[in-house]
Amino acid sequence: MDFSTLCIHGSDRKYDNTGAISVPIFQSATFAHPGVGLSTGYDYSRLQNPTREHLEMTAAKLEGGVDAMAFSSGMAAIAALMELFSPGDHIIASDDLYGGSHRLFYNISEKNGLRFSLVNTSDISRIEAHIRPETKAIFIETPTNPMMHVTDIAAAARLAKSYNLLLIVDNTFLTPYYLKPLALGADIVIHSGTKFLGGHNDTLAGFLVVADSGLSERLRFIYKTIGGCLAPFDSWLIIRGIKTLAVRMDRQQDSAMKIAQWLQGHKKVKAVHYIGLPSHPDYEVSKRQGTGFGSMISFETDSEETAVRVLSKVSLIQYAESLGGVETLITYPMLQTHADIPKEEREAKGINERLLRLSVGLESPEDLIRDLEQAFEEE
């Protein structure tokens, strides 16, 4: 079945006999038992809810996994994932991570006994150089946030398997429409469903999608025990968002390419980080392992004054901390997504006072370019 058809129809399981086209919102915390020792299949919404089940079955199909778990946020999903590991375990992660993941690792997970090495996972040899006896997993973002580095997932998977490590891939930026990490050898895929899957900047969600039933069983136990599950109404909002995922991603990508090319030619822009540009150092890897480039762009202006002016003057584009929705958003990583990372570490990665991140939405690309053009102009 074509991906766009799966987005619309998802799970083919029916939950009522009314003929409702939209899956019902089962706004119930608990479910009655038909009798002693009997169950309808639903007991308590922390364990499972029919609306969330429909969403999870859809997400699993889209990623090609055996199971998916929907959480109350992307960070809730990653926090639950960390419970797979024990004190003393070591995890190798991309050194250009979303700031929330970095904050979780070094303020919560490390306190609980886990250890981390952050490396440039675009270089597979650097990953291998950091493997030690207590290493249990490789955690990669691709493209990374916000510098848009790309990791060769198949190569990382071969390395992980040779050392009996889990390969975990955050697929938020490209979604299963453009990239399928499980098919390339990953064990677990993460999503902030708040972003492209939901697509409308109106709810929070997170996902873990797994490649085998053993991981599913372990994570389902953690899931029901911690209880960070996605509520029925929020599940319905993400179901609705996924229905248009394919058409949104294609339109957003087309616009992003036009804007990235325009930015490349602007005199006040010193660097453009968009994986769809042939000048991007990981362009060939992206072409080989995915079917698209997405709509996330980071760019460096000529000065801090220019960056601040752009953020202050955009009008159609909104200065806000998120991505993946129908509205185009611009973010200042050093003050927003990566504010908790030490300055020296942040700037060493290129996340400085001149760097801006753009999530291209569904507005006319010509209108977006005009808005950027006037925002760059000095008064």
Does the annotation count 46 as an active-site position? yes
Hey, which residues does 135 pair with through a beta bridge?
90
Of 369, 353, 227, 361, residue with least CA distance to 300: 353
Active-site pick, 15, 46, 106, 250: 46
Active-site pick, 195, 248, 309, 357: 195
Distance, CA of 282 to CA of 155 (rounded, Å): 14
Task: Compute CA distances 49 → 8, 12, 74, 188, 235, whole Å.
Answer: 20, 16, 19, 23, 10
- In a 13 Å sphere around the CA of 195, the CA atoms on its Cβ side amount to 26
Does the annotation count 195 as an active-site position? yes
Distance, CA of 128 to CA of 156 (rounded, Å): 9
- The continuous run of DSSP H or E covering 305 comes out as helix 304-313
Does the annotation count 170 as an active-site position? yes
Q: What is the dihedral of CA 242, 316, 341, 119, to 10 degrees?
A: 60
Active-site pick, 98, 178, 223, 332: 98
Does the annotation count 111 as an active-site position? no
Active-site pick, 67, 170, 187, 234: 170
Q: How many CB atoms lie within 10 A of CB 183?
A: 15
Residues catalogued as catalytic: 46, 98, 170, 195
